[in-house]
Structure 1
């Protein structure tokens, strides 16, 4: 786990100059995310999403997950989005759910739980992913605003 945490920390440091504050979404996500959450969350637009790829993870059966094509991925308070998907509000909304999960579970807690859920349920049925997909679908459907932080806290 320490190796994963170190890699994530180094990756976020490497991209620090390219990070943008999620506060730019304050109008779009009003009623869902507080300005405090948005101001302390960041995203990086990139052509190449950084992904963990350690032999130990592949040996543990995560090869297909590592090789899966994704438009976004979250590491602690920063998420990375593909340039071609950078204007998709639903993607930003989804990744911000993961930022909250990281905060509430702590980095080590999130990593442990996420790995366990992927192993047990697979990506599509992992509870942390299902939560993010449920919330981003609610947002996309123009559902009533709800406090996402409170929702995540109550459903972890």
Structure 2
């Protein structure tokens, strides 16, 4: 039986770990304004100025015993191409050229902004435990929006859509 994480110390530990990771990669961060021409009319310039990405060999993930005990081991061990921590997301070198991935991770940046770091962490973990990765509502939203982008769908403000949908 897996333990449910109900907040407090574990969420604070994760948030502290994220702050340390983001600080350690700060001089490697690139502003997402480099995607302005690709994401024009989906994301505002002012939003892209406050979102960053880092290209890494391996995606950094918190590997705490509490997370594994809570049934999140498969997520920790998943070979992800990208992950978002607050205003910064990390993509692997092999996937750094995939615009759809950047689009997807930018959805998560908005979710982090709207839910606050501790709110995002709590909700994401709860959704992973309840629905699993593929059916987690925050992930489903990001995948639906990146699929719309990939299909050259009609342009609209992703920022406004995500804010209204949360």
- Distance, in Å, in 2 between the alignment partners of 1:52 and 1:37 is 27
RMSD: 0.4
TM-score of the aligned structures, taking structure 2 as reference length: 0.93
1:91 and 2:101 aligned? yes
- Distance, in Å, in 1 between the alignment partners of 2:94 and 2:79 is 13
Show the counterpart of 1:20: 30
Which of 61, 71, 74 matches 2:84? 74
Q: How far is 1:48 from its partner?
A: 1.1
Unmatched segments (≥5 aa) in structure 1: none
- Distance, in Å, in 2 between the alignment partners of 1:113 and 1:3 is 15
- Distance, in Å, in 2 between the alignment partners of 1:64 and 1:134 is 22
1:135 and 2:140 aligned? no
- Distance, in Å, in 2 between the alignment partners of 1:133 and 1:45 is 21
* Segments of 4+ moved more than 4 angstroms: none
Matched ranges for 1:39-54 at <5 A: 39-54=49-64
TM-score of the aligned structures, taking structure 1 as reference length: 0.99
- Distance, in Å, in 2 between the alignment partners of 1:64 and 1:139 is 28
- Distance, in Å, in 1 between the alignment partners of 2:23 and 2:115 is 21
> After superposition, what is the alpha-carbon deviation per residue over 1:134-155, rounded to whole angstroms, capped at 9, x for unaligned?
0000000000101001100111
Show the counterpart of 1:152: 162
> After superposition, what is the alpha-carbon deviation per residue over 1:79-133, rounded to whole angstroms, capped at 9, x for unaligned?
0000010000000000000000000000000000000000000000000000000
Unmatched segments (≥5 aa) in structure 2: 1-10
Show the counterpart of 1:57: 67
